Amino acid sequence: MRALEYAIEVARKYKSTLYLLHVARVPLSDMNTPIAIEPDPHWQREARRSLELIAREQLEGRVVHEVIVRQGVPESVIGQAAAELPADLIVLSTHGRSGFAHLFLGSIAETVIDETQCPVLVVPIPDAERSSDDSQKS
């Protein structure tokens, strides 16, 4: 939500469209091994419904927006979407993991920065949110 607030402010200032993109990671795939799988219509409906709820609650009357739902490798799909739109700025959040967690989990933000021509604004999750987010996953 913190990254969304930054994105809203930028979109308002420049009177631009804000695209809310959700990417579901394709299981057992990586950046070098694309696999073709059928999109899951149930998942797509639920993801779109969730994003549209956020859009109604956070964006209505504030900025022009569009909801986009895709399936694939997030690092690749984010870059592809940015190029297709074309986007002037990508805003995303990061958990800010370091050490083993960073090596094991990788960093979507880092890969997007490295592989995208579009400028990227990375908004860190505050420590309090990061702690509660990590404890919920345990």
Q: Where are the chain's structural domains?
A: 2-137
- pLDDT tens, 3-59? 999 999 999 999 999 999 999 887 654 555 555 566 677 888 899 999 999 999 999
Ranges of H-type helices in the chain: 2-14, 41-58, 74-84, 99-105, 108-115, 127-137
Longest dimension (CA), the chain: 43
CA distance 34 to 72: 8
Res 36: pLDDT: 57
Tokens of 66: 């569009």
Report the CATH superfamily, name and number, of domain 2-137: HUPs (3.40.50.620)
pTM above 0.85, yes or no: no
